[in-house]
Amino acid sequence: MQFFKSTHIDFIGNRKKIFLVSALFLVITIAAFIYRGGPNYGIDFTGGILMQISFEKEITDLQDVRNAIEDVKITSFELQTSENLIMIRAKTNLESQEEFEKNIKESIQNKFPNNHIKVERIEYVGPSVGKYLSKQALYAFFFAFIGMIVYIAFRFKSSLWGIASVLGIIHDVVISFGFVILANKEVNITVVAALLTVAGYSINDTIVLFDRIKENLRFSSKETFGNIINKSINEVLVRTVVTSLTVFIVASSLFFFGGEVIHTFAYIMVIGTVLGVYSTIFLCTPLVYEWEVRRNNRLKMALKQGVVNSKKK
């Protein structure tokens, strides 16, 4: 099945218009950051209260527990279950620990009047863990980007291609994170995992396209660099659309039907899938083209200047 057989789109000729679109997305990200006052960090990064409750009978419907917690105006929390035990991790202030315990216990007991509950333990989880996780998340992104630059530079025998690829990934990750802030979703370890997944997906598309460009450069030496890039993009366009569409459909299904736990992950993947295709076609390859053209122009100017100086002498 083919959505379209062949295309002849001038991607390079329209690159400056597309750069403006990327700039607009980045402005939206900055505006979202200012409007929301920064990210809405979850329990993983801010700390909170950990509460373990045991039930006399096994719980069959976890959604009732969620509803009971939401009834006491606790919106930021995580649940872990094991037979008749439930672990609640909620983002709240240390000063409200006693009130938190009382309200949660009463609300859950009202939802399960025939199932006696008991608070096994309650403790405060400090933000020091959050600082450690924040540092580890930054390390994860940093070493992932360095690894990608080194691999692509080795693969294509030029650091330019690696740098352009990582700039595309940063573009995707930053804008995806901007949409997380815009939607006021909690930033937790799941968000970090989703952003790293978006980075991996984005680089996969970029390597496929770069590989086709390198191949066409070997066999189409008479064509201009811009024509070769346009030709390469049009050749892999069907493959890119089909593979990205399958990922987009899966991510959308998880977003609408996957439930509360995976909702934010799916949300980022829906946005990241679109951005991954966009950055590969409209950002990474035009950046390579701009760099190569400017470098060639500088070389020509240097040679021309050298000839003029030699004639003067």
Q: What is the pLDDT of residue 114?
A: 87
Domain ranges, residue 258:
15-39+130-305
Question: Do 89 and 145 belong to one domain?
Answer: no
Question: Do 195 and 151 belong to one domain?
Answer: yes
Q: What is the pLDDT of residue 179?
A: 94
Give 226's contacts (C-beta < 8 A, 6+ positions apart): 12, 13, 289, 293
Question: Do 222 and 295 belong to one domain?
Answer: yes
Question: Do 175 and 61 belong to one domain?
Answer: no
Establish if 104 belongs to a structural domain: yes
Question: Do 216 and 256 belong to one domain?
Answer: yes
Question: Do 113 and 260 belong to one domain?
Answer: no
Establish if 268 belongs to a structural domain: yes
Of 77, 110, 125, which one is at a domain's C-terminal end?
125
Pairing, β 77-82 against β 117-125 = unpaired
Question: Do 173 and 76 belong to one domain?
Answer: no
Number of domains comprising the chain: 2
User: Are the beta carbons of 276 and 244 closer than 8 angstroms?
Assistant: yes
Strands of the sheet with 77-82, listed across from one edge: 77-82, 85-90, 48-55, 117-125
3-state secondary structure of 115: coil
Question: Do 94 and 163 belong to one domain?
Answer: no
- The CA-atom distances, in angstroms, between 40 and each of 177, 178, 185 are 11, 11, 7
Establish if 184 belongs to a structural domain: yes
Beta bridge partners of 78: 89
Question: Do 27 and 96 belong to one domain?
Answer: no
Of 99, 125, 151, which one is at a domain's C-terminal end?
125
Q: What is the pLDDT of residue 306?
A: 63
3-state secondary structure of 74: coil
Regions of the chain where pLDDT drops below 50: 94
Establish if 164 belongs to a structural domain: yes
CA 76 – CA 46 distance, rounded (Å): 11
Question: Do 139 and 121 belong to one domain?
Answer: no
Question: Do 268 and 192 belong to one domain?
Answer: yes
Q: What is the pLDDT of residue 253?
A: 93
User: Are the beta carbons of 119 and 105 closer than 8 angstroms?
Assistant: yes
Q: What is the pLDDT of residue 94?
A: 46
Q: What is the pLDDT of residue 34?
A: 92
3-state secondary structure of 249: helix
Pairing, β 77-82 against β 85-90 = antiparallel
Q: What is the pLDDT of residue 266?
A: 94
User: Are the beta carbons of 145 and 170 closer than 8 angstroms?
Assistant: yes
Establish if 4 belongs to a structural domain: no
CATH number of the structural domain spanning residue 99: 3.30.70.100
Establish if 312 belongs to a structural domain: no
CATH number of the structural domain spanning residue 278: 1.20.1640.10
Within 10 angstroms of residue 17's Cβ, the number of other Cβ atoms is 9
